[in-house]
Structure 1
């Protein structure tokens, strides 16, 4: 805060420019909000048949579901390589407000900047249970010049449910290397069962009254049920997210917020996959701390926060972040991290970048509970999710068949993190008893399952089967074995090389082996050179 003036208001040139920018941003937020609220009835629910503002969508089509009798790219189980996403501008509106009936829908607008890699007149996006209003395609855009180009006529929008696509058929080809913007107004469903993933509803009791919150769980393929997107882990892009919400609620997403005026917008994310985008609208409280510039907030119900249930998580989260930063010698790339205790969700926790979600029992600790087992379990889950910030978020597996590159490393790091926080926990004994031995027993009794499935053609409805003991436990066992075999020093050096080479990108299993081999080759080459020099110098000394 600047020095306090004695009287009046005096603005210099820089201050005037800053004020003008802030006012323009506020005006834009109010215009967006007015446009969205214009689509509602007086009680805050969307009007039947309401569409996105026409100014955002110069051409309009009505979506349909078509049989895919004619062959086309929609017959393939993976997206074509004709388009790659560059940036998402997403405005999301969960229809949640105090005093209204149970929210069942959300709506929004997404503008996706894409680069055309091969000339095409067909655009494929992932889409599940989404209804569409207006759709438009603009371009080609000028690099870094903001809105530009012209409207590309859209002849038809239809849904191909077999592989969960929305198909846009255009009246002309998109040009190779051209940048284009896809603009889609949509409405989706808020699921009342958190185990179905996507955008889901929780009801809970807090401060003596019944309340709701809306949260997301998008791994592996539920982002497409919240907004149309290129929902594959290798299709990374940056995201500019805004959430429309009632003023009495807090909106959270991956990045720090910029404006909180019923439309909360967030800073642009790093390049990342769709499955770790995250959204929460709630009436929670938080406790906070800062560790090495990383603002850490632990969110929970107000009663739980008031009674100190969030203190243990707050005390250990920052140190675990610092420990892993030092371990990998790579700084955490975000400036804030929210950890939020959800009353009910489909998994124990989820590693969304900047907004990690947890089951309440995986994050909250009762201060009067003197048993260390619960604290160790919380430290374990937090360590697991923090490990994912590097293995999964910073470097992501190229496809789900190499999921162990995410989960195996995180499962290994959860034990390393616990040992750091609670040094009395015997790492080797605990790891052998709870991870290695159960995995050996399972491998001996059940049908053998490989760690990395060489058949990449995993159908979407089979991906959930990969999230099992083999991926987590065998993956962690392999990581532990590599660390022991190579020596911890060389292993960490190889991991640093791997993370550095593929930061904000994707990797396959062989990429990890290549980085390990590279480090070993360099070490052996140096040793060979030292041995040769020693032998040569010794020979000269004897003459």
Structure 2
């Protein structure tokens, strides 16, 4: 719905209250609020006397009521600090919040029942008013549906008439969450007490994380993305704290000696999942922008030490880049960012108040890796892109959340490249997303980018949509579309799309229509919807097989389980090149084709999917494969950089699907002994990781390590002088290669590498004061030294982890602690994940996965996850399952996994578990067929 579709009396009335005589109006509201809330004792949530006993007829809200504005007063009762003074009883921390809300809505169809969403809230005092004549409409009953719908049903004694405007007021109370969802509490340590008697340095804050369906746990609302509204929010919070919200502060004043309020200007028309606020003692760092006031908030110590400076220095530039690219200004006067000690996602794009995990926003000169700047820039670019894709224009329903996340991922390529071209990030990001999507989309249990709405109804189904398909495949499919229609046409189409659907909701057909309009205006002939529909409504992707002998070319659905039946097909845009000729392009339809241009001359190779612009794999006849691999060994630079990586990736994955011999895949790594570029090495290491996972508990592992030692010697030697003097090259791509060289060399037992890492770490242990290891190298040096060491090294790393206040250093140490080969230490570390004082809840899943990646820790981690599933799965169950089952390749492990699927409550991990079952079956068959061949190949290489 477009912005200008209506202007209700309710909006005008609320606007007058909040802006016409703001101070008097707000004080009156606060007094009214306190009167309403005073009767709501902070007791456990009551149960309603009337509830439904079965599921509702539908999971979605009816469309008969259209919300227009919300006025929300909310009071979190927590303390930011607990003061311990002699002879004074310290206050107990309270996790209560109370509030009231009024939603003004338009009635589109006569009804005597109001349905909205509410979960985990005690709701009372419903009041319905006909706002056109100020008449009260009596409520006959209110009940909460105790099922997955979270419906709050309010029955009326008289009907709401179609065409009328009404309001619903409710009081509510709930509990501040300790599980990083809805309105949640976060803690951190402050350096020194600020005043006498303050002996406790633990500090508390609250923040919100509403996406996708947790707004209903903070206030009753029409909690669906298409039901957009304008929000007027007032937060009552303790004095000397700072409340941030979606909009600029409109008023603030003291209520009494304990409380003050902060009111915010009305938000743009937006979805409920974007509503956000925080209450903390954090301090801001400003950014530069000609029109928008931008501030980045962090812990006082971190802000004072300048850890927000890098983020603050690039945010305005990124925002300006998007404004220029889309030719649409950011819609608000302020933009706040806040680095939270705890947050379940890496970041959340709330309009005007973007929340981040600390590690995604803070950078400490001399401590953080130079490469961490790329992480920060990418994350900020992704979240700022959402201010247009997701916030300004929103998908109609969660089945098409890729319109939010795929676009944000794709646009971040351009923004990061704009603010710092030295990162050379675009190629790296493309390959990362391409291979991430390929991996998950190679299973029959994958899902389409855009499944039917009826398949995505319950909350766990919605959460399952936030995966590699949505983010990475979404970005890559958009890149492919841009390549087909041209960059200028694509940019023009999305500009029109964003402009015409401001404040409204869309589906992918709207996007295709607007790209088509741009194509038509450019006199193009591409049929956008025809080409794109198979890529978004079907699972998977094709493998294109090219026979250079006779020019034959055909497509087939690529699956690791090649015995799976599939009749899917796609419109495949193909760009190819040969040894002697330039680029040529064509589109492959569903039927096999013959292309004379693909008939190879004597000794000439053909390379398809140049620069990896298409979302497909390529297979060739054996002769062409041999020519390409020979070219890589003779002069790899004749092959474009991205394709040097992709040839390896295609070869290994075609071997996993049994479409080529595994020896061909292994042969694709032979040229690496002379390669220094990051992308080919990264592709090889990632693909060999699958073989490592399948065979690092078998006799294959020794010869494999010996081969990799030899292959990496050249790369390791290339960086030796840098590494031994704890220095790094200026080029960011070479910095990545240096880290990879150390990782591969040390983890495969190259003696000089292990000696180097152990010596650097020992020097740090013995110095007691300074860490002489370059920040770039710390992650890999810490890990390899802990792996080579014992209890002494582990204890040192653990003590440093506990005492460090730097988020980057803590993250590197947290990962390194999982590298030990001592089982008793890994068991101890797993137990630590159950204690939030030791390992924060948001880090539990990744810590367990780090341990599971360690061959000594995999079985420990799997047993631990099953023993403590209810705790460890919170917010990251799918990620955990993927991590702890990555080595499964035996019938015994398959049976354990199948028992897990039936014996445990899976919720949002459901799809991940069944994908793991499918992958395990593939692994069992593949290992049985290829173990002897792989062992023979590696033994043959070491004998040369």
Q: What's the TM-score bracket when you normalise by the shorter of the two chains?
A: 0.7 to 0.9
The equivalent of 2:410 in structure 1 is 412
Does 1:161 find its partner at 2:146? yes
Does 1:33 find its partner at 2:30? yes
The equivalent of 1:183 in structure 2 is 169
Does 1:125 find its partner at 2:120? no
Kindly provide the CA deviation profile for residues 377-399 of structure 1, in whole angstroms up to 9, marking residues without a partner as x: 00000000000000000000000
Alpha carbons 2:120, 2:217 under 8 Å: kept: yes
- State the alpha-carbon separation in 1 of the partners of residues 467 and 188 from structure 2: 29
The equivalent of 2:208 in structure 1 is 216
Return structure 1 stretches of 4+ with deviation > 4 angstroms: 20-24, 35-41
Which of 77, 82, 95 in structure 2 is aligned with 1:95?
77
- State the alpha-carbon separation in 1 of the partners of residues 381 and 41 from structure 2: 45
TM-score by length of 1: 0.85
The equivalent of 2:431 in structure 1 is 433
Kindly provide the CA deviation profile for residues 92-151 of structure 1, in whole angstroms up to 9, marking residues without a partner as x: 111123443223121111100000010000000100011022110000x23xxxxx5211
Alpha carbons 1:207, 1:302 under 8 Å: kept: no
Shift in Å, 1:279 = 1.2
The equivalent of 2:58 in structure 1 is 76
Which of 228, 232, 241 in structure 2 is aligned with 1:240?
232
Which of 285, 291, 294 in structure 2 is aligned with 1:293?
291
Shift in Å, 1:48 = 4.8
- State the alpha-carbon separation in 1 of the partners of residues 48 and 445 from structure 2: 45
Q: Name the SS of the counterpart of 2:252 in structure 1.
A: strand
- State the alpha-carbon separation in 1 of the partners of residues 227 and 296 from structure 2: 30
Which stretch has the larger CA shift, 411-420 or 438-447? 438-447
Shift in Å, 1:290 = 4.1
Shift in Å, 1:65 = 3.9
1:446-465 residue pairs with structure 2 within 5 A? 447-458=445-456, 459-465=458-464
Over 3 Å counting, the alpha-carbon distance change for 1:21 and 1:441 in structure 2 is: closer
- State the alpha-carbon separation in 1 of the partners of residues 290 and 146 from structure 2: 46
- State the alpha-carbon separation in 1 of the partners of residues 342 and 368 from structure 2: 25
Which of 370, 373, 393 in structure 1 is aligned with 2:371?
373
Over 3 Å counting, the alpha-carbon distance change for 1:423 and 1:206 in structure 2 is: same
The equivalent of 1:7 in structure 2 is none
1:312-351 residue pairs with structure 2 within 5 A? 312-351=310-349
Kindly provide the CA deviation profile for residues 152-191 of structure 1, in whole angstroms up to 9, marking residues without a partner as x: 0000010012210110000010011100000001111110
- State the alpha-carbon separation in 2 of the partners of residues 23 and 167 from structure 1: 35
Over 3 Å counting, the alpha-carbon distance change for 1:378 and 1:66 in structure 2 is: same
Which of 173, 186, 193 in structure 1 is aligned with 2:179?
193
Which stretch has the larger CA shift, 506-515 or 287-296? 287-296
Q: Name the SS of the counterpart of 2:114 in structure 1.
A: strand
Does 1:152 find its partner at 2:137? yes
Greater per-residue helix proportion? 2
- State the alpha-carbon separation in 2 of the partners of residues 23 and 394 from structure 1: 27
Kindly provide the CA deviation profile for residues 61-88 of structure 1, in whole angstroms up to 9, marking residues without a partner as x: x95341246x9xx421110011010100
Q: Name the SS of the counterpart of 1:372 in structure 2.
A: coil
Shift in Å, 1:406 = 0.2
- State the alpha-carbon separation in 1 of the partners of residues 97 and 305 from structure 2: 33
Alpha carbons 2:18, 2:25 under 8 Å: kept: no
Over 3 Å counting, the alpha-carbon distance change for 1:370 and 1:278 in structure 2 is: closer
Which of 170, 174, 187 in structure 2 is aligned with 1:203?
187
Shift in Å, 1:249 = 0.8
RMSD of Structure 2 on Structure 1 (CA): 2.4
Structure 2: gaps (5+ residues): 1-16, 83-90, 193-200, 254-259, 527-944
Shift in Å, 1:369 = 3.5
Does 1:466 find its partner at 2:465? yes
Which stretch has the larger CA shift, 352-361 or 129-138? 129-138
Over 3 Å counting, the alpha-carbon distance change for 1:40 and 1:492 in structure 2 is: closer
Shift in Å, 1:526 = 12
1:395-406 residue pairs with structure 2 within 5 A? 395-406=393-404
Which stretch has the larger CA shift, 430-439 or 514-523? 430-439
- State the alpha-carbon separation in 1 of the partners of residues 292 and 19 from structure 2: 25
Shift in Å, 1:431 = 2.7
Over 3 Å counting, the alpha-carbon distance change for 1:255 and 1:120 in structure 2 is: same
Q: Name the SS of the counterpart of 1:220 in structure 2.
A: coil
Q: Name the SS of the counterpart of 1:291 in structure 2.
A: coil
Q: Name the SS of the counterpart of 2:382 in structure 1.
A: helix
Q: Which has the higher contact order (CA 8 A, sep 6+)?
A: 1
The equivalent of 2:498 in structure 1 is 499
Alpha carbons 1:64, 1:157 under 8 Å: kept: no
Over 3 Å counting, the alpha-carbon distance change for 1:22 and 1:447 in structure 2 is: closer
Kindly provide the CA deviation profile for residues 401-451 of structure 1, in whole angstroms up to 9, marking residues without a partner as x: 001000001111222211111102224421332111232233235633211
Alpha carbons 2:246, 2:352 under 8 Å: kept: yes
- Please identify the structure whose Cα radius of gyration is greater: 2
- State the alpha-carbon separation in 2 of the partners of residues 329 and 345 from structure 1: 32
The equivalent of 2:246 in structure 1 is 254
- State the alpha-carbon separation in 1 of the partners of residues 515 and 421 from structure 2: 29
The equivalent of 2:477 in structure 1 is 478
- State the alpha-carbon separation in 2 of the partners of residues 250 and 525 from structure 1: 54
Q: Name the SS of the counterpart of 1:503 in structure 2.
A: coil
Alpha carbons 1:221, 1:460 under 8 Å: kept: yes
Kindly provide the CA deviation profile for residues 297-353 of structure 1, in whole angstroms up to 9, marking residues without a partner as x: 000000000000000011000000000110111111110000000101110000000
Alpha carbons 1:63, 1:156 under 8 Å: kept: no
Which of 117, 121, 134 in structure 1 is aligned with 2:125?
134
Over 3 Å counting, the alpha-carbon distance change for 1:353 and 1:84 in structure 2 is: same
- State the alpha-carbon separation in 1 of the partners of residues 371 and 228 from structure 2: 38
Alpha carbons 2:436, 2:468 under 8 Å: kept: no
- State the alpha-carbon separation in 1 of the partners of residues 37 and 155 from structure 2: 31
Q: Name the SS of the counterpart of 2:362 in structure 1.
A: coil
- State the alpha-carbon separation in 2 of the partners of residues 137 and 312 from structure 1: 50
The equivalent of 1:170 in structure 2 is 156
- State the alpha-carbon separation in 2 of the partners of residues 343 and 21 from structure 1: 33
Alpha carbons 2:274, 2:391 under 8 Å: kept: yes
Q: How many residues align?
A: 484
Over 3 Å counting, the alpha-carbon distance change for 1:85 and 1:483 in structure 2 is: same
Over 3 Å counting, the alpha-carbon distance change for 1:405 and 1:40 in structure 2 is: closer
The equivalent of 1:67 in structure 2 is 52
The equivalent of 1:14 in structure 2 is none
- State the alpha-carbon separation in 2 of the partners of residues 516 and 38 from structure 1: 54
Shift in Å, 1:482 = 1.4
- State the alpha-carbon separation in 2 of the partners of residues 46 and 123 from structure 1: 24
Structure 1: gaps (5+ residues): 1-19, 51-61, 143-147, 528-543
